[in-house]
Copies of this chain bind each other. A is one copy, B any other.
Amino acid sequence: MNFANNQAIYLQIAEEICSYILLKKWAQEERIPSIRELSVQLEVNPNTILRSFDTLQNEGIIYNKRGIGYFVSADGMEKAKIYLKQKFTDEDMPQFFKRMNLLSIPFNELETYYKKFINKNKN
């Protein structure tokens, strides 16, 4: 039994940053908070934030200006979406479908729930 979320903190933070970009809380070409700011705010070690940034930089989602800070790439939103979608299909979906099978929920039934969800949130 694992009570804590088993995913590495730096990956959780990376995903969170992507979500922020997708939600347009940080626009493209905009500077994101510094490593030190985030490390204080999220109460983690600066090195952990750096690792998140490194990961996102490798994905081309953010880039870096020496001595200034990190910025969302010009195509950061698109790339953030690709990054998150990959994680979603590879990790969340299989777990979700597994649960459906355990609970004998047929795929048809899922659509019903989906329509309800859409109706409730369409406003």
Interface residues of A, Cβ cutoff 8 Å to B: 1-5, 9, 12-13, 16, 19, 22-23, 42, 58, 81, 84-85, 88-89, 92-94, 96-105, 107, 110-111, 113-114, 117-118, 121
Q: Give the residues in chain B near A103, CB-CB below 8 Å.
A: 22, 81, 84-85, 88
Q: A92-B99, A94-B117 are in contact. List 5 more A-B contacts (CB 8 A).
A: A4-B4, A4-B5, A22-B102, A88-B99, A101-B121
Number of copies: 4
A13 to B1, CA, bound (A): 8
A114 to B89, CA, bound (A): 10
Q: Give the residues in chain B near A5, CB-CB below 8 Å.
A: 2-5
